[in-house]
């Protein structure tokens, strides 16, 4: 599959995740999100950056519990799964990973 931005065409896998993370930038993230019917807000960007940081540190996308724990430490102790589902109703970890330019999480269907 392919995603088209104003300047280039980027290859994705069957689930819409980038096949090459080095193709990622904020414009690509916005195109991926728009294709999913989501307009990225500052809260989405915080989540995307956190998912990228976890991936860079561990080599894997985070499970929901770890993501919530780190977001609570970094941003707000009141963050919970409902907060994440308000940002990404169809799967916070999967879509945040997708928009972050990361592979589909192994633990997501």
Domains of the chain plus CATH, in order, are 2-35 (no CATH), 42-99 (1.10.10.370)
**Catalytically annotated residue among 36, 77, 108, 109:** 108
Measured CA to CA, the distance from residue 69 to residue 71 in angstroms comes to: 6
Task: Please name the residue that has the structure tokens 């096949």.
Answer: 19
pLDDT mean over 15-27? 92
Percent of the chain at pLDDT > 70 equals: 90
User: What is the rounded average pLDDT of the residues 56-77?
Assistant: 92
pLDDT tens-digit readout, 69-106? 999 998 999 999 999 999 999 999 999 999 999 998 87
Sign of CA dihedral 61, 64, 70, 72: positive
- What the block records as the tokens of 53 is 């940081």
Q: Is 108 a catalytic residue?
A: yes
Residue 10 bridge partners (DSSP): 3
Q: Which residues lie below 8 Å from residue 70, measured CB to CB, with a gap of 6+?
A: 50, 54, 62
At 9 the pLDDT is 78
Label residue 72 exposed, middle or buried (CB < 10 Å: 0-12, 13-18, 19+): middle
């Amino acid at each position: 599959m392919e995603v088209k931005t104003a300047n280039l065409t980027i290859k994705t896998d069957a689930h819409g995740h980038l096949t090459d993370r080095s193709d990622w930038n904020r414009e690509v993230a916005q195109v991926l999100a728009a294709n999913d019917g989501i307009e990225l807000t500052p809260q989405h960007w915080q989540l995307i950056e956190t998912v990228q940081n976890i991936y860079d540190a561990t080599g894997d996308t985070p499970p929901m519990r770890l993501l919530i724990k780190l977001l609570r430490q970094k941003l707000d102790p009141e963050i919970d799964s409902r907060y994440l589902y308000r940002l990404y109703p169809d799967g916070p970890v999967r879509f945040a990973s997708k928009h972050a330019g990361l592979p589909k999480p192994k633990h997501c269907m």
